[in-house]
Every structure is written in structure tokens, then in C-alpha cells.
């Protein structure tokens, strides 16, 4: 039964390093994405420069929505069942009314093919490397959850709980999907044979 389960997947997630991202955090994401979402995780073969058109000079940030558009132009994004996760250390932002440029941890199309996370804001008041690793993991899993069509969840410890602009919810999340979100994932993206 375990072998049959291992031969089933929801597709693939391709990790794309945008300018730079720590190797130990990438390795952790490879494991955690495969475990939580039953996806094949691959790395894009090259480190990708941040596109100039995604930079927002007034706040010295990169626009996450433009980064998602860019990630969707990569060849892997056209592969059926494949999600692209951009990983960066620079500050990223989006529009969050009434704020034209709001700094964020990550953003994912819902549903969609692309998501991006940044470790920049996740480093604030971090206790140690394990704490940072956990924050990065939860943020990445959350944004990939959006690409599978999972909305924010009202359950207090669910992986899909809205961060609401604060790191507190990320720090208190369980790191896994609660039963209601798990059921939505199974409906939206059932496991298929490889």
C-alpha cells in the first residue's frame, strides 16, 4: 500500500531561486512540500536574476504580482500539473487597499501556477536558524496551498490561516492543513498516478 501511495502525486513544484536563497532552506522546502502536498519537487537549473520590471523604486521593493507574472513565463510553468515557487531574499510587496505598496511574506495565485516567497520579513525577531526555517516552510506551504485553490482558513492553527500582516499567525500555525482544507485539496487536486 505504501508503494502504491508513493506512486501517486498531485503534480510537481519547481523551486526557482530569484537572485539568492539559502541552500539549507531550499533543502527543507524540498522535503516539506513533497510531504505536505504529495508533489514531486524539482529545482530550476539556474539562479534567475530578478527582472528589472518587477522593481518598485519608491519603496526599494520588488512587486510580487509582477514576479508571479514573470515566473509564469518560465518553460516549466507550461507543464501540466506544475507549480512554480519563486524564492528570494529581497523585500517583496503587493497592493493591499488602502496601501498601494504593502510589504509581504509571500503571494500565490489562487488557483494558479505561480507563487513567490521572501525570507526578508521572515527574518525579523527570529530566535535561531530553526525558527527561520519553520517560518519559511510555513509561508511556502501556505502560498503553494493558494495555487491549489485553497483560500484563507478561519481555523487558528491551520497552515492556510491568514497572516494578516503579522508574523504571529505564522509562528503559531501548526504547519499542516486542518481537515477542512485537506478535504478541499483532495477535491481540487486529487492524487494521480505518476
**Residue 1 in this model has a pLDDT that exceeds 50:** no
Q: What is the pLDDT of residues 104-143, one digit of tens each?
A: 999 999 999 999 999 999 999 999 999 999 999 999 999 9
Strand residue runs (E) in 97-193? 99-104, 106-108, 114-118, 192-193
Contacts of 188 (CB under 8 A, 6+ apart): 111, 148, 149, 150
Sequence-distant (6+) residues with CB within 8 A of 109 are 68, 115, 146, 147
What the chain holds in terms of domains, given with CATH numbers, is 2-185 (3.40.390.10)
| Per-residue DSSP letter, 49 | P
Contact residues for 73 (Cβ-Cβ < 8 A; gap 6+): none
Residues recognised as catalytic: 143
Residues 45-95: tens digit of each pLDDT: 999 999 999 999 999 999 999 999 999 999 999 999 999 999 999 999 998
What local confidence, expressed as pLDDT, does residue 138 receive?
97
Instruction: Supply the pTM of this predicted model.
Output: 0.94
Quote the pLDDT of residue 6.
55
> How many Å apart are CA 79 and CA 160, to the nearest integer?
26
Amino acid at each position: 500500500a505504501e508503494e502504491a501511495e508513493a506512486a501517486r502525486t498531485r503534480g510537481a513544484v519547481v523551486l526557482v531561486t530569484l537572485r539568492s536563497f539559502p541552500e539549507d532552506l531550499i533543502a527543507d522546502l524540498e522535503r516539506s512540500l513533497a510531504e505536505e502536498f504529495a508533489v514531486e519537487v524539482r529545482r530550476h537549473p539556474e539562479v534567475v536574476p530578478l527582472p528589472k520590471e518587477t522593481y518598485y523604486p519608491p519603496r526599494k521593493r520588488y512587486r510580487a504580482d509582477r514576479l508571479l507574472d514573470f515566473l509564469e513565463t518560465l518553460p516549466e510553468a507550461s507543464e501540466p500539473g506544475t507549480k512554480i515557487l519563486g524564492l528570494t531574499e529581497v523585500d517583496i510587496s503587493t497592493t493591499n487597499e488602502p496601501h498601494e505598496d504593502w510589504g509581504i511574506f509571500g503571494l500565490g495565485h489562487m488557483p494558479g501556477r505561480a507563487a513567490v516567497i521572501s525570507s526578508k520579513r521572515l527574518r525579523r525577531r527570529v530566535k535561531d536558524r530553526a525558527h527561520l526555517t519553520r517560518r519559511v516552510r510555513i509561508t511556502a506551504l501556505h502560498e503553494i496551498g493558494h495555487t491549489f485553490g485553497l483560500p484563507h482558513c478561519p481555523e487558528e492553527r491551520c497552515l492556510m490561516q491568514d497572516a494578516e500582516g503579522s508574523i504571529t499567525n505564522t509562528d503559531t500555525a501548526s504547519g499542516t492543513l486542518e481537515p477542512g482544507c485537506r478535504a478541499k485539496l483532495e477535491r481540487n487536486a486529487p492524487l494521480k498516478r505518476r
